[in-house]
Structure formats: structure tokens, C-alpha cells
Amino acid sequence: MNKRWTPKFAWLVQVHKPRSKTNSQTQRHNPDLLIVISGLNFDNDLSFLKKRTLDLNFTNKLVYEAHIYSFSGNQNSWNLLPVNWVCSSDIEILKDQAGFLISGDNPVPLFISEFGYDMTGVNSMDN
């Protein structure tokens, strides 16, 4: 099946080709290395993979990465809506943008590598 990238993600094709050669050379020198694929939008969003996989030839080498922060998404919702609703909504967003990778017919590893909130005390939505 030959799916085409949408124009929104066309830049991925341009950076993907040279990286494939580099990754092949790296794997030859150190076959134990894993390859981490980060998402778009500050590493929050991997949903572009729903339309087309990256078609890399690294069996059992790929790990997908996502970040989750309190300032990801609609920050005002924490002050305006019930906390349980906001948490539930954020969980659904995470499932849609990255969590889908760990379920279905071909689940793959997903690493939540960064998460947190503003601890300076100046943002009321993080208190």
C-alpha cells in the first residue's frame, strides 16, 4: 500500500531519507542501540502515525516518545472546568495523540520521557 503524506507532514519525508542512511550505519556499529521517535508539537503528538508508519527497517529497535505537561493543550480549562473533567479530557487527548501506539494489532513501545508542571508558583493552574 502506497500512502502519500499530507502537505502538513511533507517535511518529514525530507528529513526521513538522510536519517535512514545514518541510522543504518549507526545500527551496524552498535546493534544494541534503540531508535527514539519523538512526536510533533513539543513531542506531544504522534497521531500522524495513524495515517502512515515511518516504514523504517529496524525490527524491535523503535521506541516512540511523548511529553505530557500541564501547559500542553488548553491551560485555561484548569481554572474554568471541574478538575475531574479536565483530567478525563487530558487522558483522552493523550490516548488520541500517543496512547494508540500501545494498543491494536501492532503495539509498539511508548516512552513518556518528560512530564510535569510549572513549580514556580506563579501559574494558578499548576497550583
pLDDT digits (tens, 9 = 90+) for 33-64: 888 888 877 778 899 888 887 777 777 888 89
- Over residues 102-114, the mean pLDDT reads 88
Residue 9, pLDDT score: 46
SS (H, E, C) 10-68: HHHHHHHHHHHHHHHHHHHHCCCCCEEEECHHHHCECHHHHCCCCCCCCCCCEEEEEEE
Residue 38, pLDDT score: 86
How far apart (Å, rounded) are the C-alpha atoms in residues 75 and 119? 15
Question: Which of 96 and 39 is assigned the larger pLDDT?
Answer: 96
Angle at 115 between CA 107 and CA 6, to 5 degrees: 50
Question: Which of 1 and 116 is assigned the larger pLDDT?
Answer: 116
Q: Bridge-partner residues for 35, per DSSP?
A: 62
Question: Which of 115 and 24 is assigned the larger pLDDT?
Answer: 115
Local structure of residue 98 (DSSP, 8 states): T
In this predicted structure, the answer to whether residue 85 has a pLDDT above a threshold of 70 is yes
Helix (H) or strand (E) holding 4: none
- Over residues 8-33, the mean pLDDT reads 62
Longest dimension (CA), the chain: 53
In this predicted structure, the answer to whether residue 1 has a pLDDT above a threshold of 50 is no
Residue 2, pLDDT score: 43
